[in-house]
Structure 1
Amino acid sequence: MARVIRARKEPIAKPKLVSRLALCDDGTVSGFVFDPQTPERHFTVDILLDGLVLKTAYADAFVPELSRQDRNGACGFAVTIEPDLLRAARHLSARLANLGTSVGHPIDLENDSAALVDLRPTCKLRWLGGLHFQGWIDSEAAVTLEAIVDGESVAQVRAVAWAHIGGDTEGDASRNIRAFDFHAPQRFADGRVHRILLRKENGEQIPATAVFVAFPDGLAGMIDVIGGYGAERLRGKLYDQLIPASLPLHDYADWRDRFPLPEPQPSPLRLAVVIAGSAGAQQTLSTLETQSHENWTAGAIDGQPLLIDSDALLEFLENAASDARHVVVTMAGVSLERNALARIAAAFDVHPDAVAIYGDLDFLADDGRLWPLAFPAFDYERMLEQGYCAHLFAVRRDALIAAIEARPDNLYRLFNCLLDQAGPLQADILHLPGALATMPKLDRAKTGSLLSAASYLHLRARGIDADITEQQGNLFPAVRIKRPFSQQRVTVIIPTRDRVSLLRRCLDSIAPAVERCGADILVVDNDSAHPETIGFLADLPRRGIRTLRIEGPFNFARLNNQAIATLDSDILCLLNNDIEASSDDWLEEMLTRLGEPEVGAVGALLTWPGGIIQHGGVVLGMNFSVAHAFTDRFSGDPGFLDQLLVAHECSAVTAACLATRRSDYLAVGGMDEARFAVTFNDVDYCLRLREAGKRIVLTPHAKLIHAESASRGSDNRANRRDRFEHELNLLRARWGEVLNDDPAYNPQLSRDGVPYGGLAWPPGPRVPRYNRPPRAGDLPLGF
């Protein structure tokens, strides 16, 4: 018989901590905690009032005084407690979550005024990968900082942009602060580890440092140069996906030289080249003479820029260019790249099904600096409101002759004639990443009227009687299109849990827009328990607002799915309870976009309460994840290439404010509540709509205020990070390479930081591409 030996259970040693707890007079509870034996360890801290846990914080914020003692310094925490709660309590304390070890000394709220100290961070420096850094400093005025790498002064950094911080937890005050974004010099991309810090003009070092490593042209490219095994290159590719590198947009000229476009395969195609306009025609003809593709015939049609005579165009095609099967059409004044015609011909060879081709362009500023006009794969909505692809394009001869039957008189109308008969044939329009030419400055007043007339005639040809209004553009013309929409049943769905002040403000602010559209409201209550909330919800039916109670843990996808199952509305508007409307036309604007049958979902432009943009569409592929666009801009900024002035296509939009048809919602199975309970459910839903052949549109003409996460807290909180990472991994598993190939984003643009903030280093694949539906991978439950 075997003898059983019981091991003695040793008590678990509690860590010997260095910690502090303080209270600021604005209600901010702050402090730090670290273990000197294992300084890299981070702790979760419970904040208690009179012995009851009120909040939980993760201690990983930067603490200046600790960094000056040659410690890591990233062990601080800060949360805000409502003044009413503090006034009603006697004692404030903190402890390690699950361990019970005290953090700092308890504070006697009735007598201890010496504890009123603020340990909140005043600045932040973040390495984004490669040589790219972002950060902020708590200052009302613009600040100039000096960047120091390994003791060497390398750059002047201007903190002139804006960012929004705070608001992670209930009662946590949010604020706008000065932000900066810069790149270290390229000589530090040497594969070695470097340390960077910042100091003010007076020589004072700000308490923020970072360690970084960068590789020339990415780690995968470096492995290719020095030689290595295939497995090592695969590891390098993964590193480059997760930690991408970038260069600033103002370095575009040097970037172009460093990453020249590959030479296209020789082509036997004969091209006809049509130049629209007299002024600048000679400049365009001179660049034709230097083309590497020599099999072409050109003709200039006299007149004003962008205007075209249909009879003269037909005469040229029938006589001088009778043997050309493909036609290149350009505005006068365009300076073609040496291989522009060769790239167009090669693209038609590889994609004979393409109806039309357009490419990226360059823009020469008044100071002589070159800037990239990096476009998306074909975007029908943006074509209508901006005409971005009509200044230089190529088209099959048969399609062009058929289009001329509509008698177009300018290039915007000539291009959209191609789509008159069968709706947006975006699957047949090819985009060539990389500049085909340098474009002259446009007269936006004249081009705006041309675009307005062209879009009106095109939509009328499709049987759509739309209202079109000219807007003030920046680089390009801009118009606003308002399609008619039939009076359909619309329901606004608002999930909520307590926080009655948010819900009250939301309902009051959206009431004019809801009434204007004859819409209904359904408030979905998820286990509210506060008496004031219960009373408020009970009174809503008297105001004509339906309520639905759904119990259980917060699952945004499930709440919407179950709510929609009770409705028979035609149109759904998913809305967060922390949304506040500032106009009465936002809902109508979103509904008019759904007047286009191919549009599956419409998103709005959302700003923080302080005016900084919180959501300008979702871009795929940022650090092999997704990111909101234009979060470094204030409301009113035109955005990259005027995107915030016109409606445009995105791969996804946030469900904080999303309009969609109920039939489309049900056809794709609604939101995936099993895999994406809280985050990425809207991204996954939009991608499945696109997989079904629908388009996703972001309209900046619908603007609302969003106090993001005010109702449920930030995903950066410690108790939610694991869930966030799990759902991100599920998104990567389902959509895979789709996340690295966003058709609404250009492969030449950066995939770190905020979208549209820099140049990809190195660029992504610059191959001809269609805007075609993505394909999801199979993702069985449990994997």
Structure 2
Amino acid sequence: MKIKKSHNICYRIDKIAHVDEKIEVKGWGIDTEKLQSISLSVMGKSSDGIKVQKEYRNDVLDFLGLSIEEPVGFTIYFDKTWFKYKKKVVLRMRSENNQQDIYIKLNRDIDLSNGKKIPFVQGVIRGYYYLQRHGIKPFANRLYTELIDRFGQKYNHWIAHNEPPVKSVRPFKKNPLISILVPIYNVKWEWLVECIESVLDQSYTNWELCLVDDCSDFQDIQPLLEKYNQNDKRIKVKFRKENGHISRASNDALSMAHGEFVGLLDHDDTLAPFALESVVECINQNEDVDIIYSDEDKINQKGKRCQAFFKPDWSPDTLLSQNYICHFLVVRRKIINDVGGFAIGLEGAQDYDLILKCTERTTKIKHIPQILYHWRMIEESTAVNPESKMYAFDAGKKVLEDTFKRRGKNVIVKEGNALGTYIPYYTVATNPKVSIIIPTRDHAADVKLCIESLLRTINYDDFEIIVVDNNSVEQETFELFKHYEKYLENAFKVLRLEIPFNYSQLNNQAVRLARGDYIVFLNNDIEILTPHWLEIMLGYATQEHIAAVGAKLLYDDETIQHAGVVLGLGGGSESEGVAGHGHKGYAVTEHGYFNKLDIVADYSAVTAAFLMIKKDKFIAVNGFDEENLPVAFNDVDLCIKLLRKGYYNVCLPNVIALHYESKSRGLENTKEKQQRFTNEVNYMKKTWRTYLQNDPFYNPNLSLKNERFEIKV
């Protein structure tokens, strides 16, 4: 990243491109003296045909080791009238105290955005900023991590520091027999050997391997399996006389099994040498456990490990939107037999079907946050080429439709934006009243935009809007209230509270006034974009196990502001944060960490800027904390209290709104506000330390330093 610095303004032009009859100039700029973003203007010529769009650039902030809430990136659009402009364009960057003019040529394309080499001098510049900002010890840690990243060894570094070369064999009180099922069909000889050898290499030895060849055409498979069968009595082999596909082959393997637990392994994949030992350790720590799953990674075509998938703990709604459990899966054999084994006719999604059925029989489910399974990437595999098995995704949709029908739920399942993702739409049988609460202090234009977007996108009769007026003084505001009181009649109320701003108290008071069975908390700076949003959210809020239902919120540049809250995030280190928004700053078109932006996902918390909840559940945990959390983190506190009650909180990718971010409240720019915020941070750390240190819907192997779900090193 080639950086230039002058007059305390650090900047870079990343790209100049001619696209669709316009010229795009992308870059960023920061005042490193005041740690603030800069304003932009084009000098010496009319600004006609020019549009400037500010953008969040987390990559830049991480690169420089800075923490700035404002958007520091920009894209300048020049229309086609600028195509023949041959002179240099003067771009002026200004901040509160500093100014810098830079010169760019529009008549040629450049692209520096993907440059990998970072010259020594530039590295010194950014290192200086980080050292100045954070001190010597954090600087040393950052330098070490940067060197690892620079040579593409971040995951290798994680492996070296988190996985023992050979896990020591420890005595366990309970040593159950584990049956590994492997259906086989036309697999390469060397991959099958690696698969079987990975089981033979297990540090835990009380296992049996059930191999079923599904009438393969490859002539070298049968003698190989017979040899393994002769050499180790724990290896059982069956040769089918006709091809029956993977479900029948898997059922044959299951019929050979005698283990208390059954593990699933594909014929070209491998297990970590400590996989079964880790599973047995989990069984001994949780003697009544019925289902165990682990994290996984992939083996690329060069034999290198990559794409580590660090998963959340048991997440029932996530599973109904994506088979996130996948590998390595171990289930008590009795439960698999009770559900009838592997379903015929659902080939390609038979494991997904099995998991869903088994999780209906038990809640004793444990996640091992270790990479125990290595999924091979080959052209014929969905690991590298999802389009190679489109039938599997069609089968996945049918699996979900069958699941909801079996559970007595009226649900429409639609395919998600990414292959292998699905969005369930629950149908609400009744029409409960919904109360929509909007706190404000003046800002009539914002309130009008919010309410008009609400009315434009709603298709539901029984609702009411309660505006909580907190010390408004502008006549325009009162006239707006009168307009809606006349237009919406009894469906619109104004609750006037002349008290110091206390978000928790304002909303709690409104809930007491609300007549609805369900509550929507809505900031006055929200513009709802999704039609039928209320019915969609209500479908989830009416589920017994779900409490808070959140939405995907965007900044006005269409990047992610909120798509679920991660506990412990946002402190600049692995242990200082309270909570932050995962995927913040991502483009709305991005899929996120393993498609997490495309699925209905369980999170520990969702923001109350746009949140629906059943009123009874809200009251059961005493609502928002007015005393300890008047402004910040009250929604996170609420959601954790709901978790403790046994509920789940979900974020919906298919309900989208623009969030113009706390316009009424303003910034934390006084000593009093900053002290109040410090008190709120301390309260959260004291009250919820265990949750903040180990978010069950995140993963301990992922970093809390930023919002990008990066590996922690």
Distance 2:301 2:665 in 1: 48
- 2:136 is aligned, of 205, 213, 228, to 213
Query: Counterpart in 2 of 1:92?
Result: none
Distance 1:179 1:573, change over 3 A: farther
Size of the aligned set, in residue pairs, is 578
Q: Residues 335 and 361 of structure 2 are in contact (CA less than 8 Å); yes or no, is this contact kept in structure 1?
A: no
- 1:483 is aligned, of 426, 430, 442, to 426
Q: Give unmatched runs, 5+ long, in structure 1.
A: 1-62, 81-119, 143-164, 167-177, 188-193, 200-204, 223-242, 762-783
Distance 2:689 2:654 in 1: 32
Q: Residues 294 and 327 of structure 2 are in contact (CA less than 8 Å); yes or no, is this contact kept in structure 1?
A: no
Find out whether 1:525 has 2:525 as its counterpart: no
Q: State the Cα deviation string for residues 603-642 of structure 1 (Å, max 9, x = none).
A: 1010001111101111111233211111131102100111
By how many angstroms is 1:517 displaced?
5.9
- State the SS of the aligned residue for 1:527: coil
Aligned-residue RMSD, C-alpha: 4.1
Query: Counterpart in 2 of 1:679?
Result: 632
Q: State the Cα deviation string for residues 426-478 of structure 1 (Å, max 9, x = none).
A: xx11111121111234135233222212222222221113111122425xx11
Query: Counterpart in 2 of 1:466?
Result: 411
Find out whether 1:760 has 2:712 as its counterpart: yes
Q: Residues 550 and 650 of structure 2 are in contact (CA less than 8 Å); yes or no, is this contact kept in structure 1?
A: yes
Distance 1:460 1:360, change over 3 A: same
Query: Counterpart in 2 of 1:162?
Result: none
- 1:500 is aligned, of 426, 437, 444, to 444
Distance 1:245 1:738 in 2: 32
1:486-565 equivalences in 2 (<5 Å): 486=429, 487-516=431-460, 518-544=462-488, 545-565=492-512
By how many angstroms is 1:76 displaced?
8.2
By how many angstroms is 1:542 displaced?
1.3
Distance 1:549 1:328 in 2: 61
By how many angstroms is 1:133 displaced?
6.0
Q: Residues 275 and 329 of structure 1 are in contact (CA less than 8 Å); yes or no, is this contact kept in structure 2?
A: yes
Q: Residues 671 and 685 of structure 1 are in contact (CA less than 8 Å); yes or no, is this contact kept in structure 2?
A: yes
Find out whether 1:379 has 2:379 as its counterpart: no
1:62-101 equivalences in 2 (<5 Å): 65=7, 74=33
Letter in 2 for 1:397: R
Distance 1:526 1:245 in 2: 52
Distance 2:630 2:641 in 1: 16
Which structure shows the higher helix fraction?
A: 2
Q: Give unmatched runs, 5+ long, in structure 2.
A: 11-30, 40-53, 78-93, 96-110, 217-243
1:25-174 equivalences in 2 (<5 Å): 65=7, 74=33, 138-140=73-75
Identity of aligned residues (%): 24
- State the SS of the aligned residue for 2:520: strand
Q: Residues 382 and 647 of structure 1 are in contact (CA less than 8 Å); yes or no, is this contact kept in structure 2?
A: yes
Q: Residues 613 and 633 of structure 1 are in contact (CA less than 8 Å); yes or no, is this contact kept in structure 2?
A: yes
By how many angstroms is 1:539 displaced?
1.9
1:6-405 equivalences in 2 (<5 Å): 65=7, 74=33, 138-140=73-75, 196-198=124-126, 210=133, 212-214=135-137, 251-261=154-164, 263=168, 265-266=170-171, 268-276=175-183, 278-280=185-187, 282=192, 283-301=194-212, 313=250, 316-318=253-255, 320-322=256-258, 324-365=259-300, 370-404=306-340
Q: Residues 295 and 327 of structure 2 are in contact (CA less than 8 Å); yes or no, is this contact kept in structure 1?
A: no
Distance 1:383 1:521 in 2: 34
Find out whether 1:710 has 2:663 as its counterpart: yes
By how many angstroms is 1:540 displaced?
1.3
Distance 1:669 1:654, change over 3 A: same
Q: Residues 133 and 182 of structure 1 are in contact (CA less than 8 Å); yes or no, is this contact kept in structure 2?
A: no
Letter in 1 for 2:666: G
Q: Residues 158 and 712 of structure 2 are in contact (CA less than 8 Å); yes or no, is this contact kept in structure 1?
A: no
Distance 1:529 1:326, change over 3 A: same
Distance 1:123 1:382 in 2: 29
- State the SS of the aligned residue for 1:760: coil
Distance 1:421 1:533 in 2: 55
By how many angstroms is 1:245 displaced?
13
By how many angstroms is 1:326 displaced?
0.8
Instruction: Please report the TM-score for the alignment, with normalisation by the length of structure 1.
Output: 0.66
Distance 1:218 1:263 in 2: 30
Distance 1:180 1:570 in 2: 51
Query: Counterpart in 2 of 1:41?
Result: none
Q: State the Cα deviation string for residues 98-129 of structure 1 (Å, max 9, x = none).
A: xxxxxxxxxxxxxxxxxxxxxx9x99999879
Distance 1:207 1:291 in 2: 45
Q: Residues 246 and 751 of structure 1 are in contact (CA less than 8 Å); yes or no, is this contact kept in structure 2?
A: no
- State the SS of the aligned residue for 2:688: helix
Q: State the Cα deviation string for residues 43-86 of structure 1 (Å, max 9, x = none).
A: xxxxxxxxxxxxxxxxxxxx964799xxx974588999xxxxxx
Distance 1:537 1:309, change over 3 A: same
Q: Residues 126 and 210 of structure 1 are in contact (CA less than 8 Å); yes or no, is this contact kept in structure 2?
A: no
Letter in 2 for 1:616: A
- State the SS of the aligned residue for 1:273: strand
By how many angstroms is 1:274 displaced?
1.1
Distance 2:414 2:279 in 1: 34
Deviates more, 1:683-692 or 1:547-556: 547-556
By how many angstroms is 1:348 displaced?
1.5
- State the SS of the aligned residue for 1:749: coil
By how many angstroms is 1:330 displaced?
3.0
By how many angstroms is 1:212 displaced?
3.9
Letter in 1 for 2:161: R
Q: Residues 295 and 328 of structure 2 are in contact (CA less than 8 Å); yes or no, is this contact kept in structure 1?
A: no
Distance 2:322 2:596 in 1: 9
- State the SS of the aligned residue for 1:600: strand
- State the SS of the aligned residue for 1:292: coil
By how many angstroms is 1:258 displaced?
2.9
Q: Residues 247 and 760 of structure 1 are in contact (CA less than 8 Å); yes or no, is this contact kept in structure 2?
A: no
Letter in 2 for 1:670: G
By how many angstroms is 1:715 displaced?
3.4
Q: Residues 448 and 479 of structure 1 are in contact (CA less than 8 Å); yes or no, is this contact kept in structure 2?
A: no
